[in-house]
Structure 1
Amino acid sequence: VVGSGVSGLTTAIRLAEAGFSTSILTRERATDTTSIVAAAIWFPEPGSRSFMERSLEVFLELIGDQSAGVYPLDVTEYLDYPLEDANPSWAQPLRSYRILTADEVPAPFASGHVLGTVRIEPPIYLPYLENRFETLGGVITEQEVTDLSDVAAENRVVVNCTGLGARSLVGDTSMKPVRGQVVHVENPGITDGHHTQIEGGPFTYVLPRNEVVVLGGTRLVGEWSLVPDDETTKRIVEDARSLDPRLATSEIVKVAVGLRPGRPTVRVELEETLSGLVAHNYGHDGNGYGLSWGCAEEVVRLIEYATSTS
């Protein structure tokens, strides 16, 4: 497996559990990847629904493992359009779901709902995944890969989990950085989350971690800069405090920038190259956590089928 973000680690774990001798080659450890910057909650997104639902099933199971860093979270989302379906099919896998009453929805929003989902604490969860993989006999080697054919020649199958790196590694020009800036502030005791979305405008979220609250957000397609923008920081904090007044006196702990691996669609497929079999699992944009277990299990299925028939 090339890459050790949340997708690479999850895929490596499932391969090792399936009986494959598995190793990871990575330029940087998980806590230095984009995965550490992510807000890291399960939130319904269009497309790849089966992968999303399977991932949520696993996260709900992991709530019972105190070492995993997965916790229940209720998120209130305000929307600028009316909600007509009181029991949407996409909400079925959630822990709970309800539509807000009219007096619970602040202006200028038209509706809102509360989603009983999960949150993931990346500083706990990513080391948990590394340890789980190594306990299965897996080996993680810090080594930058610049040519997949070199790795493919030495292994039965190579799994490409390089995220944005796939743009140069496999020449996928549909990959584009989607810049996200977040602000971590002191957590005054917040255990629930808030999210707003106005079509065509900025979105705001307030998502708690154990020690901080993550505030966002931005989504700048094609922007490569990892340098925080001061005006953006100011806007994020002001919008978040307006959304959740409990943050009024919370001091900024840090500002972080990450580049989501943007792609028109997620790429989960097997490719026969001149050097050998290459499985691809990348292009998850801002939903690496939410897709992680479902995509990983699909990669295992593809590899098991290919290796059993070859």
Structure 2
Amino acid sequence: MADVIVVGGGIIGMTAAMRLRERGLDVTLWSPDAPADTVSAVAAASWYPTGLTFEPRVLAWAAATYAHFRRQARDGVPGVMVRETRNLERDGATGEPWWAPAAGRVRYLPADPPWTREVRFDAPAVEMDVYLPWLRQRFERAGGRVVRRRVDRLEEALAEAPVIVNATGLAAGSLCGDPDVYPVRGQIVLVANPGVFVSVRDLTRPSTYVHPRTRDVVLGGTFDENSWNTTPDPATRAAIVERCLTLVPELAGAPVVGEKVGLRPARRGGPRVEVEKMSGGTVVHAYGHGGAGMTLSWGCADEVASLAT
């Protein structure tokens, strides 16, 4: 038997599995999907606690994750970079955003209407199609095991390990009978990068963002609550491109190279990270991170590892 089985192969499950293995535990990760097929692979993956409100441990997770990705960027980890980021606000706020203490040096600049302020900071960004396979390889080289397996009941994993980590995202709603779990549909468009290096985010709804990566630029997006539709919509694509061109006119004429739809695993009340004792053993729940999985991942993994050991 393994010491711990992590159920779920997205960024939350992979980082938790890595932290547990680093503590010397025998860890197996169960995932029905390859890294490229998880919802994490669809994410724009630019550090920012999208859709979350202040909670001390959420801020701590975000700060730890920010620091970890900054170190990985300096170390040349594949798929990890740091981008100057401009958040454009319209609400007239003058105080410090709740997440700012986690983001290093944050600057506040005046902005032209319709915006009321620009918040500028450096943010880690991750190309998930590169990073997730690298992380899985690192986990396996450290002695972890990955098994392609889907579960219908958490008891299936508890039959094979005394402790499991439930990092199943949206599936946690049915696996745990949690009515607070719901999908938030996100559609993105990928265009060839014509030489853009600064991320820009307009914080109104629908959120509009431009996140440059190595070869392409992620344009978004949508925030469609309780939608299970994973088919890209042409009208939505056109609207996204139009909004993003308003923010970054340099993208005019950049060819579209792809589009994706992902369902963010949101939860009313915020992420559930806690221990539950069941008849077959111990479950450490780690789900409900919504669109902030990358932003909270490594910090959350530290807490999950502590709860599991």
Q: Distance between the aligned counterparts of 1:181 and 1:248, measured in 2?
A: 20
CA offset at residue 90 of structure 1?
Answer: 3.5
Structure 2 gap ranges (5+): 1-5
**AA at the equivalent of 1:203:** S
Aligned pair partner of 1:267 in 272, 287, 303: 272
1:290 matched to 2:300? The reply is: no
Aligned pair partner of 1:71 in 81, 90, 99: 81
Contact 1:51 1:291 in 2 (8 A): yes
Match of 1:107 in 2: 113
1:5 matched to 2:1? The reply is: no
Match of 2:46 in 1: 41
1:277 matched to 2:282? The reply is: yes
Equivalent pairs counted in the alignment come to 298
CA offset at residue 128 of structure 1?
Answer: 1.4
The more displaced of 163-172 and 221-230 is 163-172
CA offset at residue 92 of structure 1?
Answer: 3.2
Q: CA deviation digits over 1:233-268, x for unaligned, max 9?
A: 010000001110010010111110000001011010
Q: Distance between the aligned counterparts of 2:67 and 2:163, measured in 1?
A: 28
Match of 2:62 in 1: 52
Alpha carbons of structure 1 residues 145 and 254: separation in structure 2 relative to 1, 3 Å: same
Q: CA deviation digits over 1:76-127, x for unaligned, max 9?
A: 1111123424x667423324321113xxx23211111212111111111111
Q: Distance between the aligned counterparts of 1:174 and 1:222, measured in 2?
A: 11
- Identity across aligned pairs (percent)? 39
Secondary structure at 2:235 match in 1:
helix
CA offset at residue 64 of structure 1?
Answer: 1.9
Superposition map of 1:47-196 within 5 A: 47=54, 48-85=58-95, 90-101=99-110, 105-196=111-202
**AA at the equivalent of 1:194:** V
CA offset at residue 140 of structure 1?
Answer: 0.5
What's the Cα RMSD here? 1.4
Contact 2:35 2:129 in 1 (8 A): no
Q: CA deviation digits over 1:258-296, x for unaligned, max 9?
A: 000010110101111111111110000000001101111
Q: Distance between the aligned counterparts of 1:115 and 1:43, measured in 2?
A: 11
Secondary structure at 1:210 match in 2:
coil
Q: TM-score, normalised by structure 1?
A: 0.93
**AA at the equivalent of 1:215:** L
Q: CA deviation digits over 1:169-215, x for unaligned, max 9?
A: 222121101000000011001111101023xx322100011111000
Q: Distance between the aligned counterparts of 2:97 and 2:182, measured in 1?
A: 32
Contact 1:182 1:255 in 2 (8 A): yes
Q: TM-score, normalised by structure 2?
A: 0.93
Secondary structure at 1:113 match in 2:
strand
Aligned pair partner of 1:230 in 234, 241, 246: 234
4+ runs of 1 displaced by more than 3 Å? Answer: 87-90
